[in-house]
Every structure is written in C-alpha cells, then in structure tokens.
Homo-oligomer: A and B are copies of this chain.
Amino acid sequence: MSRATYTTPQDAEAAFYEAIERADLDAMLAIWAEDEEVVCVHPGGARLTGFEQVRASWTQIFNSRQRLQIRISNAVYVQGMMLSIHSVHENITVVGEQAPRPPIVTTNVYIRTGGGWRMLVHHASPAPQAPGPAETSKILH
C-alpha cells in the first residue's frame, strides 16, 4: 500500500472524506496513524481503538456498498505543532435517497508523524435536526 504524505491536517481531512465518498479502503487506511492509540467512534457506535479495530470497521462499512456524499460545514480548527483539532458538521446524503440525513457532529484529531499528518481520532455523533440551547434540557450532561 503506497501512502500519500499530507503536509497539512487540512490535506489529510480532505483525503479522509474523499476516501469515504469513494469507499476506498486503501486510501482510508493510509490516512490513519498506525498506532495503538488511534480512536474511532462511528455515529451511535462504540469506541474502537487501535489500527486493527479501525481497519475492520471501515472494511465492513465499505463492503456495505452504500455510497455517501459528504459536505463539510461549520469547521472550527485549532492547530498545534504536533496535534490539530477539527470540529465539523458532516452533511451526508446517501446516494439513492432524496433527503439528506441529519447532520453529524464530528471531532477529528490529526497528529504530525514522520510521514506527514495522520488521523488520530475520529469521533462522530448524530446531532438533533434543530440544534439550540433548549436541547440541553433533555440530556444527562
């Protein structure tokens, strides 16, 4: 598997969402740090840790043959020397469905390695359709 080198976390993030849209497993795995400390939480899912669990989950997802289009909005970035934090809304349309799905709130963390910026954390969770302060009255904390 040849690995691209991403010189910025933004490049790694663009490649991450392109890999999902193309259901390209090699491209997806090339973006992740090969590390026991990688963390992946798919919407509504359990926490996966370590490269092997991450690999297994994307293999299963891409095998489903469900094709997705993703538009990113509301990005907030905080970048350090070694780590870069991205908070985004994923606006996902399943190809073949008319209406877009409710937005997904996602925290992505990238780490600078000898081979460029790689994904360290992907934490995605479904957001309510009409977000607002009133939402907090229903939640535990």
In chain A, positions 6-22 with a C-beta closer than 8 Å to chain B are 20
**By the criterion CB–CB under 8 Å, are A137 and B60 in contact?**
yes
Copies held by the complex = 2
Judge if A3 is at the interface, Cβ distance under 8 Å: no
Q: Tell me how many residues of A have a C-beta within 8 Å of chain B.
A: 55
Interface secondary structure of A, over-half rule: mixed
Q: Given known contacts A107-B107, A125-B125, is B76 in contact with A39 (CB within 8 Å)?
A: yes
Docked CA distance A49–B77 (Å): 12
Question: What are the nearest 3 A-B pairs in CB distance?
Answer: A46-B131, A125-B125, A80-B82
14 additional A-B pairs beyond A42-B141, A61-B136, A123-B123, beta carbons within 8 Å, are A39-B76, A39-B87, A41-B127, A44-B138, A46-B135, A47-B127, A60-B137, A68-B141, A78-B120, A85-B121, A87-B121, A94-B140, A104-B140, A109-B109
